[in-house]
Structure 1
Amino acid sequence: MDKTWILKPRSSADYQQGLDQFLKFAFDNASKGSMILCLCRKCTNCFWKEEEVVYEHLLCDGFMQGYTRWIFHGEDTSQSNPTNKANIQNEQINDEMDELLHDAFFHPESDFDVGDLDTNDLTTEPDEETKKFYKLVKDANQEIYPGCKKFSKLSFIVRLLQIKCLGGWSNKSFDMLLKLLKEVLQAGETLPSSFYETDKIIKDLGLGYEKIDACPNNCMLYRKEFANASLCHVCGASRWKTIESKVSIKKSKEKHGHKVSAKVLRYFPLKPRLQRLFMSSKTASYMRWHNEGRTKDGLLRHPADSPAWKDFDHKHQLFSSEPRNVRLGLASDGFNPFRTMSISHSTWPVVLIPYNLPLWICMKQPYFILSLLIPGPSAPGNDIDVYMQPLIDELKELWDEGIKTYDVSCKQTFQMHAAILWTISDFPGYACLSGWSTKGQLACPYCNSETCSEYLKHGRKILLYGTSEIP
């Protein structure tokens, strides 16, 4: 498709005609039927929208920069490279595994081609996390048997595991199917021989999380020395759910060890996610942008221009001497995941934002790092520090010891450290994260004891008002 119309004014007839042709092409090849990824400058292929919304966004905001191959909207990646058509012998397996690795390790706008990765060109030995990634790249390009162009080893494994989950297969039946397939396929097949080996390959994607049981009253987490405890050492509540109306079923489950936890915290390890930011040459170079690419003219354009950032660098000069050390912001707030607002339920995600990145991408959704998912049905309140323990422990390790990380842009391994600069929340959430009470006559954390307030007798509320000396 001719794409010169994208550069024309959005009010022109050529732009609107080209936009109509693109929408027809995109929705004809849409994987979700009535919705596609919106590729406007604001959405940047992060949100699924309907046709009318996409049309409005592209007409008002225009197309995102750098997205010249519409690989997420039905365009074949080989169409932009005519040499691929002439050289059929170099034909790659088109099974979307490149996109899967792309989404797992990189930003969706980066120019990523797993075929360009060459492990022989490394000047230093990559760490274990990087080796796992290169192994996945190898599996994504490896045929399941000689001559197969429809499936790669990784794509076939992913498809089998999807069928296993949807069909409710047992691990034993999955092992039997793999054994049968290995007998049917011709010599040279590369399939794993068991579910254990298959699951190990998928785990290397690093998309998993840790389940940590919690006290239903938010008193403690069952980890470290309390990992095998059955009762909360603070309030004495049971770790497991009780089913009073089905006592026989409960006893049967306990007999066979199938106990159900009363409350479960989902924790997403931070270290591997930070390491992945340095696995792409484009993203890795962006992690130094705050020091090398930022315009330093005194104007506030990026958090690195703020007094808080500069004061932190001045106090911790050893940390700031390495520009690849990660500065993070922490955001948290409660929401109702069930959409029905009449249901009183509050789940609290804790999200980290890496501020090393350039100002135009550091607050984009693909770079948000989900760290904790605190379950409901009620908000943790002041007990949020109980659920923050795994993250705090990992942040302490990243601050004191760091972790060996391979920087593909420099082709070297360095000791990466990380630090939390500030938190982002609304005023009630600020009370939970900081411990400062945002209620009453001294609610302002900035004014402290000099807060100007007055109790409204008839309204039964505290009125906070400013002073003549506004900072």
Structure 2
Amino acid sequence: MDKSWMTEHRTSKKYMDGVKSFVEFAAVNTKTPGFMLCPCKRCCFRKTLRQQVVHDHLTSGAGILQGYTDWYMHGENISTPIHREPSHVGYSVSPVDEMSAHEGSTTGMHAMLHDVFTMHDSRVDVDPTEVEEDLEGPDENARKFYEMLKGADKPLHDNTKHSKLGAIVRLYSLKCMGGLSNALFTFFLEFINELIPTKSPLPKDTYEAKKYMKDLGLEYQKIPCCRNGCMLFWKESENLENCTTCKMSKWKEDNGMIDGTSRKPKKKPAKVLRWFPLIPRLQRLFMSHLTASHMQWHANERTKDGVLRHPADGEAWKTFDARYPDFALEPRNVRLGLASDGFNPYGNMSTSHSIWPVMLVTYNFPPWMCMKQPYFMLSLIIPGPRAPGMKIDVYLQPLVHELMELWDVSVTTYDVSSKKKFTMRATLMWTINDLPAYADLSGWSTKGPHACPCCMDSTQSIWLTYGRKYCYMGHRRWLHKDHRWRKMKKSFDGTKEAGTKPVTPNGDELMRQLEGVESLFGHSMGKRPRTHSSINKEKSIWKKQSIFFRLPYWRHNLLRHNLDVMHIEKNVVDNILGTLLDMKGKTKDNDEARMDLQKMNLRPNLHQVTTEQNKTYFPSACFTMSKEQKYNFLKVIQDVRVPDGYASNVSRCVKLKEHTMGGMKSHDSHILMQQLLPVALRGSLPKNVVEPLIQLSGYFREICSKTMRLEDLDRLESQIPIILCQLEQIFPPGFFTSMVHVVVHLATECKLGEPVHFRWMYPAERCLHQYKCSVRNKAAPEGSIAEGMHLQILRVSHDGSEKDLQNKHVQEFCDWYLGYVSVML
């Protein structure tokens, strides 16, 4: 059939006629009359829909997948030529997977094998033994492929059309969806083997099933590590028995015997790092028909009309391309982001345990794909029970080693969309994490007098004697040099401002600062490395030299670590609500704050007053709400009704009797800040208090938009210092924590990295929730997460239904699995 219509615009007559012919062709070959798999860009074969709905998706929706030129999921014989290694002389290139006489799961399994082992032939009519004879010494990957190919061809017995591979994949998926334990799944397999009349080729227990599934690439590596986080027993240190720093044993202390005999149990590492190799999963993105065509979207399909929609529109991406033109010349080279955070796998239990997964984001994908959960790649599971802290670099060694290989050496990869091999390289653009994790990854402490990682040693801070903390109020530096607020002393911190806004040092300046700072490798827990500055009796601002500086390009990245808008916004909202509602323990206008104002000789109208009866009290501030105002403010929030799925029930957080709010999640604060706060504040407080808070709300709303323009960011960049200076004249110094101060840098970072939703923690937090739900064995939470992600490729996505999947034919399940075997890994 003529398929040139697939590249035409969706409104053209040729495209509309082509969609009609495609739907008619697929309707004849479908096994479920009236229904078919949807090949649009949004569904990606994940949904089985009515024919008319599929027609609408292709015409008025996202359009058909551009890489889907062989309609093998809709009954067409695949005619894609197989790519061969040059050394395979004498091998005749022929069509892949002739989908003709075989029924049931065979065709789907062959299509799946083609995506997993793209470099080999998965034809139904090929004889694996003959092909092996033609190959000059097939490697281990080829042998696995031929074994799987035999399993896809051979039926379980004479009275079934299901193959061994199809049956194992289906049973394994049911284990995952039903949450069956290993012991129960073993009983399940034993019973099925008894039902099969002939000698069963199915696995006898869970161990054999897992071993079989690992041949599809569903595996990870276990690396023993020091229980104190000093080192990994990896590479040249693999055979060591004790840590070279703290001298602790590599093994668990277990001297017991087995069954009263003299035989000792097998040694087990005291701590294990689980590593999911990155390179094969990046290769698989180009080996799948569903993702290969999207890996060049940022270069070939991105609209370049001045609207900022994607990180490729940002200054950091463009500057990187200008510095490394050889990397930018190949659009298939991969751009990655790293996200990490810790969580307690036991929920709200009193047990203290912190696990740190490290995830990777692929920015080659279009905006509607790259931040979705199926396209997040789990790279490392850093074990608990304690957070790694500054020693996270020890655990990042395998990942950084792969990133260096992907930059310096590169990897040969087959691209199924162009049917050619290319040399793939990859770069790490930046990291995504909250402010405490920012310090662990960057090495710059986000506490103390220099807490701002953007201002660095130019951070202006004041130590509050009674509040016993630092505050950060120097926002007049960002104003115009002739602005009248620069000379006003009493309204701010008691000083005139003559300085200019700080300039973030470039890569060369950073490396000069880090010359005397060592890495944390080889230092025992609780001890800090000595630096040249400490030798000179000067306090070092840098706590370590980050492992990411081993990457040759890292020093030249304009944006190395992102400020997380999710946590910043939540902290700002907590400060505002706690202060306005005078919530105990959360307000920034307490007795200590008033005493600090008195010591600084600022705002005399708020100082302590002594009455004639020798009683003391603090006068009310302009932002202090009466009980009636608090009630009206909270009543507005409580009565708000939002569309289903837009936000949680914020009214549950309101406590009218106590005049407080509590229990809000990050997204509740997001909705409250950008939508509800401007409405609820009107009429509750004086105009000079309400206006800057409403402007701050609009500032967050604009920087969180999915599209923006450069002129809008310039306006926001000049507007936010004025808003913060207005707040400095209203709230006490204790209000301005480091989280409030870094708001001044958010618009600038948007210029570098573009829309916020590519660089905040919301998608990563959703992945962390998924990892927490996969913990079934409380005694080994890290292993449960690893096995859960091992099974995740067989789970139904949020777009599907588990019940529907169980009732579908094996053929449809294989089609679904074909899409996710390359994405979920």
Q: Structure 2 residue aligned with 1:386, among 390, 394, 414?
A: 394
The aligned residue for residue 356 of structure 1 is: 364
The aligned residue for residue 432 of structure 1 is: 440
- Give how far 1:257 is off: 5.5
TM-score of the pair, normalised by structure 1? 0.67
* 1:93–1:141 Cα contact (<8 Å) kept: no
* 1:211–1:267 Cα contact (<8 Å) kept: yes
Q: Deviations over 1:7-63 (max 9, x none)?
A: xxxxxxxxxxxxxxxxxxxxxxxxxxxxxxxxxx999999xxxxxxxxxxxxxxx9x
- Give how far 1:143 is off: 3.1
User: What amino acid is the match of 1:361?
Assistant: M
User: What amino acid is the match of 2:183?
Assistant: L
Q: Structure 2 residue aligned with 1:184, among 188, 198, 204?
A: 198
The aligned residue for residue 453 of structure 1 is: 461
Structure 2 CA distance for aligned equivalents of residues 460 and 440 of structure 1: 11
Secondary structure class of the residue paired with 1:351 = strand
* 2:186–2:204 Cα contact (<8 Å) kept: no
* 1:139–1:152 Cα contact (<8 Å) kept: no
The aligned residue for residue 348 of structure 2 is: 340
Q: Structure 2 residue aligned with 1:155, among 166, 191, 194?
A: 166
TM-score of the pair, normalised by structure 2? 0.40
* 1:219–1:234 Cα contact (<8 Å) kept: yes
* 2:122–2:149 Cα contact (<8 Å) kept: no
Q: Deviations over 1:275-300 (max 9, x none)?
A: 11001234111001100000112321
* 2:152–2:166 Cα contact (<8 Å) kept: no
- Give how far 1:184 is off: 3.3
The aligned residue for residue 233 of structure 1 is: 244
Secondary structure class of the residue paired with 2:475 = coil
Q: Structure 1 residue aligned with 2:183, among 159, 162, 166?
A: 166
Unaligned runs of 5+ in 2: 1-40, 47-56, 65-71, 77-98, 128-134, 479-720, 722-747, 749-825
1:137–1:444 distance in 2 versus 1, CA, 3 Å: same
**Residues 48-447 of structure 1 aligned to structure 2 (within 5 Å):** 90=101, 92-94=103-105, 101=112, 138=149, 141-144=152-155, 147-158=158-169, 165-166=182-183, 184-185=198-199, 201-243=212-254, 247-249=255-257, 255-256=263-264, 258-447=266-455
Structure showing greater Rg: 2
* 1:332–1:424 Cα contact (<8 Å) kept: yes
> Which structure is richer in relative contact order (CA contacts within 8 A, separation 6 or more)?
2
Structure 1 CA distance for aligned equivalents of residues 473 and 165 of structure 2: 61
Q: Which has the higher helix share?
A: 2
Structure 2 CA distance for aligned equivalents of residues 288 and 458 of structure 1: 57
Aligned residues with identical type, % of pairs: 46
* 1:444–1:451 Cα contact (<8 Å) kept: yes
1:221–1:236 distance in 2 versus 1, CA, 3 Å: same
- Give how far 1:227 is off: 0.9
Unaligned runs of 5+ in 1: 1-40, 47-61, 69-77, 83-87, 107-113
Give the CA RMSD over aligned residues: 4.8
* 1:143–1:190 Cα contact (<8 Å) kept: no
1:216–1:183 distance in 2 versus 1, CA, 3 Å: same
- Give how far 1:355 is off: 0.4
Secondary structure class of the residue paired with 2:365 = coil
Q: Deviations over 1:174-228 (max 9, x none)?
A: 9xx99x999935xxx9879999997765322111100011111000011112112
**Residues 19-34 of structure 1 aligned to structure 2 (within 5 Å):** none
* 2:274–2:382 Cα contact (<8 Å) kept: yes
* 1:402–1:415 Cα contact (<8 Å) kept: yes
Structure 2 CA distance for aligned equivalents of residues 459 and 437 of structure 1: 21
Structure 1 CA distance for aligned equivalents of residues 360 and 422 of structure 2: 22
User: What amino acid is the match of 1:184?
Assistant: T
Secondary structure class of the residue paired with 2:256 = helix
* 1:214–1:222 Cα contact (<8 Å) kept: yes
Structure 2 CA distance for aligned equivalents of residues 253 and 288 of structure 1: 62
User: What amino acid is the match of 1:229?
Assistant: L
Secondary structure class of the residue paired with 1:230 = coil
- Give how far 1:117 is off: 9.9
Q: Deviations over 1:258-309 (max 9, x none)?
A: 1122111100000110011001234111001100000112321001111011
Structure 1 CA distance for aligned equivalents of residues 73 and 44 of structure 2: 22
- Give how far 1:249 is off: 3.4
1:235–1:92 distance in 2 versus 1, CA, 3 Å: same
1:157–1:404 distance in 2 versus 1, CA, 3 Å: same
Structure 2 CA distance for aligned equivalents of residues 227 and 294 of structure 1: 46
Structure 2 CA distance for aligned equivalents of residues 444 and 419 of structure 1: 26
* 1:313–1:319 Cα contact (<8 Å) kept: yes
Structure 2 CA distance for aligned equivalents of residues 405 and 79 of structure 1: 25
1:429–1:199 distance in 2 versus 1, CA, 3 Å: closer
1:278–1:131 distance in 2 versus 1, CA, 3 Å: farther
User: What amino acid is the match of 1:218?
Assistant: G
Secondary structure class of the residue paired with 1:423 = strand
* 2:44–2:290 Cα contact (<8 Å) kept: no
1:249–1:66 distance in 2 versus 1, CA, 3 Å: farther
User: What amino acid is the match of 1:325?
Assistant: N
* 1:275–1:405 Cα contact (<8 Å) kept: yes
1:253–1:239 distance in 2 versus 1, CA, 3 Å: farther
Structure 1 CA distance for aligned equivalents of residues 415 and 259 of structure 2: 53
* 1:144–1:190 Cα contact (<8 Å) kept: no
Secondary structure class of the residue paired with 1:350 = strand
* 1:92–1:141 Cα contact (<8 Å) kept: no
1:218–1:44 distance in 2 versus 1, CA, 3 Å: farther
Structure 2 CA distance for aligned equivalents of residues 343 and 128 of structure 1: 48
- Give how far 1:118 is off: 11
1:66–1:135 distance in 2 versus 1, CA, 3 Å: farther
Secondary structure class of the residue paired with 2:417 = coil
User: What amino acid is the match of 1:153?
Assistant: K
* 2:110–2:122 Cα contact (<8 Å) kept: no
User: What amino acid is the match of 2:248?
Assistant: A
**Residues 5-16 of structure 1 aligned to structure 2 (within 5 Å):** none
- Give how far 1:89 is off: 8.0
* Aligned residues between the structures: 378
Structure 1 CA distance for aligned equivalents of residues 439 and 262 of structure 2: 40
Secondary structure class of the residue paired with 1:277 = helix
1:89–1:284 distance in 2 versus 1, CA, 3 Å: closer
Structure 1 CA distance for aligned equivalents of residues 473 and 125 of structure 2: 62
User: What amino acid is the match of 1:421?
Assistant: M
Q: Structure 2 residue aligned with 1:465, among 455, 473, 478?
A: 473
